[in-house]
Amino acid sequence: MMNYGFTVSYDGSRYEGWQRQVRTKETIQGKLEDTLEKITGEKAQVIGAGRTDAGVHALGQYANFHLKEAYDLKMLEDAWNRALPDDISIHGLTIMDERFHSRFSAKEKHYRYSIRVEAEKNVFRRRYVWQLGERLDVEAMRKGAVLLLGTHDFTSFCGNKHFKKSALRTIFDISLTLSGGELSIDYRGDGFLQNMIRIITGTLVEIGEGKKRPGDIPIILEAKDRAAAGFTAPPQGLTLVEVTY
């Protein structure tokens, strides 16, 4: 068996997330697997580094799959891109070590959340930004973000209330950049729980609005209760930027 790795970019607006589902064909994994089977005649599971939610985008999602045959990489990549919908693109197809696993081998994931903080909307960015339209106290948000760095139990920031595994995750960096009326929040960590970044973003926005204080962050973490954190920010503002191995 040959282990193939590749980078995939997608506009997640019309999809029900990464993970293949029985109830719908509109998933990124489903589209990748179905088109790959049409080209090769082989059924393969395409494993993504992160299972992005419905409506979430990716610039640099990484994935791998196994096939029995060794294909010409350029020919397979070109044929696959032609078969895929216009809102999904793959590149950098290569042969990986047989033990490589896109999710378990990942060392760092970089996500970016974008928020429009001015009243005037950028209509051409509406699919990729949360059109909040209000000024936020960015310095207060930065103070809150610092308290999330390091290794913590992030149960309070997990959207899956039935999650049974360890909620310990390490956030390496959270940086907030304000430019052109848009606030970008870049998250770098070893991994993230379901909805974790969107819940952290909602919590930071509540700090920026004065509804919460930066000093509430340790209390929220200690509570290990989803109800203690802020709301879940909408999906369209979130993009998986890069996965590092």
End-to-end CA distance of the chain: 22
Active site residue 53: yes
> Given this model, what pLDDT does residue 161 score?
83
> Given this model, what pLDDT does residue 166 score?
94
> Given this model, what pLDDT does residue 19 score?
95
Strands 150-153 and 88-96 come out as unpaired
Say if pTM beats, i.e. exceeds, 0.75: yes
The length of the chain, given as a count of residues:
245
Question: 34 φ, ψ to 5°?
Answer: -65, -45
Strands 168-179 and 182-189 come out as antiparallel
Residue with tokens 């103070």: 143
Strands 238-244 and 57-67 come out as parallel
Which residue of the set 11, 34, 53, 86 is catalytic? 53
Q: Which of 66, 47, 50, 43 is nearest to 12 (CA)?
A: 50
- Please, which residues bridge with residue 173 across strands? 188
Domains and CATH numbers, the chain: 2-96 (3.30.70.580), 108-244 (3.30.70.660)
> Given this model, what pLDDT does residue 164 score?
79
Q: What is the pLDDT of residues 118-143, one digit of tens each?
A: 999 889 999 999 999 999 999 999 99
Binned average pLDDT, 10 residues per bin, the chain of 245 residues: 97 96 94 97 96 97 96 97 98 97 97 96 93 97 98 96 90 97 97 97 98 98 97 98 98
Question: 217 φ, ψ to 5°?
Answer: -60, -50
